[in-house]
Homo-oligomer: A and B are copies of this chain.
Amino acid sequence: MGGSRRPTIKTVAARAGVGRTTVSRVINGSELVSDEARDAVLAAIAELGYVPNSVARGLVTSRTDSIALVIPESESRLGSEPYFSAVIRGVSTGLADTRTQLQLVLVRDKGEQDQLTDSVAARRVDGVLLVSVHEQDPLPGLLEDMGLPTVLAGRRSPAESLSHAHSDNVGGAAAAVRHLVERGRKTITTITGPLDMDVGRSRLHGWREALTAAGRDSGGHLVAVADFTEEGGRQAMRSLLERIPELDALFAASDVMAAGAMSELRAQGRRIPEDVAVIGFDDSFIARHTDPPLTTVRQPVEEIGRTIARILLAEITDPGARRQHVVLPTELVVRDST
């Protein structure tokens, strides 16, 4: 085949012996087309191998059929933190039976953030998905002001105005702590995520809530703040061991931090779980590979991805729709570290 150039809707119209509009109607599934015209158009499309030019369509409809998934690369370490990969998979799944394309934006620094907002202003995407938002993140507000549909995985604060989906962080953490209490642990410490993130605060809150309910100490000296990285977990563990040598249990707010903590525990000669019981959060594949395998709180990350994709599509279709706040359940997965 080949010939000269790509066929346009005009070529198809000529071939089928109809007008451009009729071709457009067939393509967009309008009812107002006679059967014979439709057949002729479909035949012409097949013969010519015609595919509508989405850019031209986008110009007139002012839709691009693509959304952006924004991931802050700085803190995320896409790759060592499985969370982001799972979100990507989920979002991709949520888009699967749509013609919506996924644009991946890894934001490293301020410059790339400006590039992002410019890209948004240039109307390259119909909506934005934001992952791992901090309380003072300027991005959600900027996007909201630009009037662009925006959905978050997680939230800036409990008062989040934008649509978002996240897992039951409080409940998950509390379940972890209850499990440790049931196992007869006395001194239950925690390593938290960054406290300028709701996910960090919520898991800390769940830890505290469950301890209080059990009549246990939940004082600040039992808390070490880290940054969701393995090295952070290691250092936090070191600091906890220094302050509270008698600790016999740890709830880490992520599997990766738990892994770091476990390596520090081993380095200091503590046995897991005999001396110290450890629980993580996420149930990423890391949890199955630590030694011993890690008890952890499973959160449905892929489903979060699917959910925010679905919500965003809905908001793009109907910009006036109510904002949605979805909370997904967590589940305690007991392995050998407790």
A55:B101 contact, CB within 8 angstroms: no
Give the CA-CA distance A115 to B102 in the complex, in Å. Answer: 13
Complex: chain B residue closest to A288, CB-CB: B230
Whether, in the assembled complex, A135 has its beta carbon less than 8 Å from a beta carbon of chain B, the answer is no
Q: Given the complex, which residues of B lie within 8 Å of A73, measured CB to CB?
A: 89, 92
B80:A285 contact, CB within 8 angstroms: yes
Give the CA-CA distance A69 to B53 in the complex, in Å. Answer: 20
Given contacts A52-B122, A79-B85, A112-B96, contact A103 B106 (CB under 8 A): no
B103:A102 contact, CB within 8 angstroms: yes
Bitwise, A72-113 to B at CB < 8 A (1) or not (0) is 010000111010111011001000100101111110100010
Q: Given the complex, which residues of B lie within 8 Å of A286, measured CB to CB?
A: 289
Give the CA-CA distance A104 to B305 in the complex, in Å. Answer: 15
Binds B, one of A11-19, A58-66, A190-198: A58-66
Complex: chain B residue closest to A117, CB-CB: B51
Give the CA-CA distance A286 to B52 in the complex, in Å. Answer: 45
- Select A55's contact among B59, B86, B115, beta carbons within 8 Å: B59
For the side of the interface on A, what is the size category? 35 or more
Determine how close the nearest CB of chain B comes to the CB of A217; give it in whole angstroms.
33
Stoichiometry, as copies per complex, reads 2
A254-310 CB contacts (< 8 Å) to partner B: 259, 285-286, 289-291
Q: Given the complex, which residues of B lie within 8 Å of A53, measured CB to CB?
A: 59, 122-123
Whether, in the assembled complex, A119 has its beta carbon less than 8 Å from a beta carbon of chain B, the answer is yes
Whether, in the assembled complex, A238 has its beta carbon less than 8 Å from a beta carbon of chain B, the answer is no
Whether, in the assembled complex, A20 has its beta carbon less than 8 Å from a beta carbon of chain B, the answer is no
Determine how close the nearest CB of chain B comes to the CB of A297; give it in whole angstroms.
18
Complex: chain B residue closest to A108, CB-CB: B96
- Select A105's contact among B59, B69, B102, B112, beta carbons within 8 Å: B102
Q: List 21 A-B contacts (CB under 8 A).
A: A51-B121, A51-B122, A53-B59, A53-B122, A54-B119, A54-B122, A54-B124, A55-B122, A55-B124, A59-B59, A66-B103, A66-B124, A69-B104, A73-B89, A73-B92, A79-B82, A79-B89, A88-B106, A101-B103, A101-B105, A101-B119
Residues of A near any B CB (own CB < 8 A): 6, 49, 51-56, 58-59, 62, 64, 66, 69, 73, 78-80, 82, 84-86, 88-89, 92, 96, 99, 101-106, 108, 112, 115, 118-119, 121-124, 259, 285-286, 289-291
Task: In the A-B complex, list the 7 residue pairs whose CB atoms are closest, starting with the nearest.
Answer: A79-B85, A51-B121, A54-B122, A92-B106, A104-B104, A55-B58, A51-B122
